[in-house]
Amino acid sequence: MASDSIKKTIQVALGVCLVCSILVSAAAVSLSSRQAENKQLDKIKNILSAGGIDFTGKNPQQLYNEKIKAVTIELETGKILSEKAEQDLLRPENFDIKKISGMPKYSQAIPSDKDIAGIKRMPSYMVIYEVLDSKGGIDKYIFPVHGKGLWSTLYGFISLDNKLQTVEGITFYEHGETPGLGGEVDNPNWKNSWKGKKAFNENGEYIIDVLKGRVDPSNPNSIHQIDGLSGSTLTTRGVDYLMKFWLGENGYGTFLENLRKEGSNEKI
Q: Write the pLDDT tens digit of every residue in 124-167.
A: 999 999 999 988 899 999 999 999 999 999 999 999 999 999 99
Instruction: Quick: pLDDT tens for 33-46.
Output: 676 788 888 999 99
Contact 146, 155 (CB under 8 A): yes
Query: What pLDDT sits at residue 40?
Result: 86
Q: So what's the pLDDT on residue 87?
A: 82
pLDDT at 264: 46
pLDDT at 20: 64
Predicted confidence at residue 267, as pLDDT, reads: 46
Q: Does 220 score more than 70 pLDDT?
A: yes
Residue 23, Ramachandran bin (φ over 0: left; ψ between -120 and 50: alpha; else beta):
alpha
Phi, psi values for residue 224, rounded to 5°: -130, 25
Which 3 state secondary structure label does DSSP give 158?
A: strand
Query: In this structure, how many other beta carbons lie within 10 angstroms of the beta carbon of residue 10?
Result: 10
pTM of the model: 0.85
